[in-house]
Amino acid sequence: MGERRVVVSGGSIAGLSVAFWMRRLGWQVTVIERAPAFRDGGQNVDVRGVAREVLDRMGLFEAVKRQNTTERGTVFVDADGRVTAELPSVGPDGATAELEVLRGDLARTVHDHLPPGVVSVHGDSIETVTDSAEGVRIVTSAGRQIDCDLLVVAEGVRSAT
Ligand SMILES: Cc1cc2nc3c(=O)[nH]c(=O)nc-3n(C[C@H](O)[C@H](O)[C@H](O)COP(=O)(O)OP(=O)(O)OC[C@H]3O[C@@H](n4cnc5c(N)ncnc54)[C@H](O)[C@@H]3O)c2cc1C
């Protein structure tokens, strides 16, 4: 049997992490990202619990820690800048996690540590999916036809697929 093929739709934290692991397991991996290039930006993501465990197993915990926003807590202030309420960082499960990282920085760290051989397609997205006993056939908006064994949809909260 040849290498198994997975298509991942969405090239952010979830999609790139799937690509990371599936490539390591020896699959042929194609990531289809709708944006024309790698997407930076986004706000704080708290890394805790199982997310931290996953980063440890990927060997990326230290790399992500270097991107820590160094947030120390949250304060609400009035018009004169006086603190009216405080959400301090208390322990690993406080409002501010031990590891706070911007979405784009986290995604880029995974992106920059992908194993060789992951194919990235930008500026395209899945138009149709046909599931059969032989596998999954995908046709994209740009007219690419890709046959694979597994489709993983990691398009975030506004997923259309
Ligand atoms: C202020 C703020 C605070 C947050 N705090 C936290 C937090 O503390 N903890 C936490 O876990 N999360 C937090 N989030 C949410 C965090 O941004 C998401 O959890 C994280 O980005 C989800 O990653 P994802 O890979 O699933 O999806 P996304 O980062 O949304 O990525 C989806 C990707 O798929 C692409 N895409 C979408 N549709 C298609 C399509 N049809 N075809 C191809 N590609 C497509 C998009 O372009 C994007 O690159 C926060 C968000 C905000 C705004």
Phi (first) and psi of residue 158, to 5 degrees:
-100, 30
CATH number at residue 22: 3.50.50.60
Tens-binned pLDDT, residue by residue, of the chain (161 aa): 578 999 999 999 999 999 999 999 999 999 999 999 999 988 889 888 999 999 999 999 999 999 988 888 889 999 999 999 988 776 666 777 778 899 999 999 999 999 999 999 999 999 999 999 999 999 999 999 999 999 999 999 999 99
**How many domains is the chain built from?**
1
CA geometry: angle 81, 85, 90, nearest 5 deg: 120
Q: Which residues line ligand 1 (CB under 6 A)?
A: 9-15, 32-35, 39, 42-46, 103, 125-126, 154-156, 159-161
* Closest ligand 1 atom, residue 9 Cα: 43
Domain hosting residue 146, numbered range: 5-158
**What stretches of 10-142 adopt beta strand conformation (E)?**
28-33, 44-47, 73-77, 83-88, 99-102, 119-122, 126-132, 135-140
* CA 76 – ligand 1 centroid, Å: 26
**Strand bridging mode 135-140 / 126-132:** antiparallel
Exposed/middle/buried for residue 37 (C-beta within 10 Å: 0-12, 13-18, 19+): exposed
